[in-house]
Structure 1
Amino acid sequence: MSSEVSTDELPAALQALRQWAASERLSGSTRITQSRIDAFADATGDHNWIHTDPARAQTGLPGGQTIAHGFLLLSLTVEDDVAALACFPGIAHVLNYGLNKVRFLAPVPSASEVRVRSQLMSLEARRPGQWLLTQQKTVEVIPAGEVAVVAEQLSLIVLAD
């Protein structure tokens, strides 16, 4: 059974993790290029023309540009965390555990710049040596700040023995 644990009861590694996660974090910018969209289409098999046909998009889509796959944008939400969490002493593994809620709120045209905003929602004990980190992730189009994706992302933190 999960339970929220006070900061005083956390092992040192998790106290540091909680401090890191408690501050709102903003990633660097990522350009959503057509080649990145095409590579994602190849990896997933989703070759819908709205993503992969710039010529058709010029006349068939508002703005005249292809748009990024929602799941491509969602995949950007793990990049900064994976590198940061792997560096915490006392943490053996960080595993993607799932998502509670995902909403694709606005299309992101090719050539757009996006960034990811991360906010701690909870850090809960799961079983001895395992903690569930829940964060709200927001993918924003910059410089406008328009929200493209909002997700509750879950990561399972496994402590070293």
Structure 2
Amino acid sequence: VKREPLFGVDEPSRLMCLGFTLVELMIVVAVLGIVSAIAIPAYQGYIEDARIGTMLQSIETIRVFQENRRLEQGEYVEGSYDPASPDAAGGLKEAAVLDWSPFASNDVVTFVIACQTDATNPECARASGYQVTATHSEGGSVCRIINRSSVASC
């Protein structure tokens, strides 16, 4: 029994029109690979920029708290904030030190404030500056030296 061609096309020719060839699929995979190779590093750079921006914003709030402390008590303070133990004695969150903590409850940044003039003294002198270092747990850190009238990178 001979079958009549469907829509005027023989059976083998019609089947070849229904799918993609291996070459076409390989081209699509290659294009996706190229796009991924460009997009992934750009996205990672965006994430790093966002981390740095967040750390700089937190350093700015520390600066405001430090200036308030200097105006009220005549001194800057040293201390640290570790998200693993945010309520540790002598930490920045302690009211006797600075009464400061980051905005986010899921914070992953460690902050260290060191006096610029005398690292052995627990209180910085009134006119001295201090250094703030912020380190993100997933990579990246920011350091600023802050004096009464200026902020500079470390």
Using the size of structure 2 for normalisation, the TM-score is: 0.33
Using the size of structure 1 for normalisation, the TM-score is: 0.32
Larger radius of gyration: 2
More strand, by proportion:
1
More helix, by proportion:
2
